[in-house]
Structure 1
Amino acid sequence: MRTQALTDAKALLRACETGVISTISYNLRGYPFGSVSPFISCSEGKLYFYISDIAQHAKNLEKDSRMSLTVFHQAEEGDQNAHGRVTVVGDATPIKGDKAQQILEQYVLRFPEAETYKQAHDFKIWQMDMVRVRFIGGFGKIFWLEQEEWEAPASPWDFEAETGMIAHMNEDHQDAMALILAHHHTVQDDAPTMTGVVTDGFYIRSQDKNYYVPFENVCTKHEDVRMELVRLTNRARKSQAA
């Protein structure tokens, strides 16, 4: 049950692209301060935000690195408490140099509107390192997940290899991604684009929205990504033909 909770919590986090971030207010002397922010996550489980220095939560983090991120799927009807939610608790620090630039490029792929933010020099990439995770999968499914459980190996491919995978899929295999998107999310789009790859899945962008598709197996080497994409394509094709 605990292993399934970890899998479900990570899947929920991957599927969400915006969450409620809570920081410790400096102006209000210790009161919690909530805001909403887009984010991306890496294979290891670290979270990344692109935040302006003038934002209140950025000012708070400069004084106290502690923060949390809460994500959930809003219930279309019925009791919201019956639906899953994840709160990641950790510490945030701004990052610089090549790593920051690479994360920013990945971020802009997922959130193209952020391209305009790059013209403002007061935006920074912040990295959040997890301390503990609270996962509630519904009534009676409540877990604290520890750091050693949550953290996973880094992607076995580098930034250039990931960029190449994305370009290849977008140039040559939009038909396959259209099948996968329709199968997993019932979204019809003849020209979706890949916007990111992690070891346990990948992201498709369609009609100004990102969709996460999990792999059946976690990828431990570069070549595994192709195998997982082929598997997903074949499964989607069989479903369509049924």
Structure 2
Amino acid sequence: MESQDETGREKKSVIRPTDDQARQLAKGLVRSARFGALAALEAGTGHPLASRVAVASDIDGTPVILTSLLSGHTAAILETPSCSLLVGEPGKGDPLAHPRTSLFCKAVRIERGSPTHNRLRSRYLARHPKAELYVDFGDFSFFRLELERASLNGGFGKAFELQKEDLLTPVDDPERWSAMEAGAVTHMNEDHKEAVRLYAEALCKADKANWRLACLDPEGLDLVAGDKVERLWFADPLDDPQDLRSVLVALAVQARNI
């Protein structure tokens, strides 16, 4: 939308129209994030507080964090759930030339032992296996950072404003997807390691490494090797988790033919 400067002349908006490429870029930044900067209001003072947090994502793409009640940022989001999360790896060279997105969220604490908690625990540990040392400590809680909107910077001159619908993947039955995901991930990592390697190295053009399948969702899969993360998108979103097997087989065939 055009606006006017102090002279009355129209000035061009720097915000570009949101398209599918911008949506996928923003989703990919969230799905592949290992960490992010959480911005919240400090409990008791209301002063801005920024903290680095480890990040995973729920099946629908909602960011997930695991925090201790002893930390300042946990107290902050418990008192004022409105917060923001900045994700996007800086990469080599000028850090401002790399894509990043600021997510405007509302932190929701997840009840321990609930189906949602169990699902998030599994997906979080798939991305951060060392967290198994403390994930079940009584003072640690999972939070879903419920997305409201986002500001995407795709690099110099590439600014977008995204809405919740642009960021999330529709999932009718998260628990059904979670059950299918658990079995498929274990099966692929134990019985089809070569296919997983090809997903990363042939289809994602990643460096050679000990790649494993971490997570699955209706739009793609996440591959990890130590600190490395690769996102592989499906050609089309899946409506039913039963379709996962045929898609994984087709991707393996495609990778072997490259």
Q: Do the structures match in fold with TM over 0.5?
A: yes
Aligned residues: 236
TM-score by structure 1 length? 0.89
Q: CA deviation at 1:208?
A: 5.4
Q: Distance in 1 between matches of 2:184 and 2:71?
A: 35
The question of 1:39 aligning with 2:59 is answered no
Partner residue, 2:78:
62
2:30–2:63 CA contact under 8 A, matched in 1: no
Aligned CA distance change for structure 1 residues 80 and 220 (closer, same or farther; 3 Å) = same
Query: Match for residue 95 of structure 2?
Result: 80
Output the amino acid matched with 2:201. A
Classify 1:92/1:230 alpha carbon distance in 2 versus 1 (closer, same or farther; 3 Å): same
Counterpart amino acid of residue 147 in structure 1:
K
Deviations along 1:122-174, one digit per CA (max 9) or x if unpaired, are 00011111111111111221111112333331165332221111121122211
Name the TM-score, length of structure 2 as normaliser: 0.84
Structure 1 unaligned blocks of 5 or more:
none
Q: Is residue 36 of structure 2 the alignment partner of residue 16 of structure 1? A: no
How far the C-alpha of 1:229 sits from its partner, in A, is 2.0
1:150-229 to 2 correspondence within 5 Å?
150-154=167-171, 157-183=176-202, 184-189=204-209, 192-207=211-226, 209-229=228-248
Distance in 1 separating the partners of 2:92 and 2:42: 32
Q: Which has the larger radius of gyration?
A: 2
Q: Deviations over 1:75-99 (max 9, x none)?
A: 311x322221111111001111232
Match of 2:133 among 111, 116, 119: 116
Aligned-partner Cα distance in 1 for 2:91–2:249: 33
Q: Which string of whole-angstrom CA distances, capped at 9 and with x for unpartnered residues, describes residues 179-218 of structure 1?
A: 11112143324x5322211111112232454432222221
Give SS of 2:232's match: strand
8 Å contact kept, 2:220–2:232: yes
Give the C-alpha shift of residue 119 in structure 1.
4.7
Instruction: Indicate conservation of the 8 Å contact 1:155/1:198, yes or no.
Output: no
Greater fraction helix: 1
> What is the one-letter code of the residue matched to 2:127?
R
Equivalent AA in structure 1 for residue 41 of structure 2: I
Partner SS, residue 115 of structure 2 = helix
Q: Is the 8 A contact 1:194 1:203 kept in 2?
A: yes
For residue 191 of structure 2, what is the amino acid of its counterpart?
A: D
- Structure 1 contact 166–196 (Cα < 8 Å) conserved: yes
Separation in structure 2 between the aligned mates of residue 63 and residue 161 of structure 1, nearest angstrom = 36
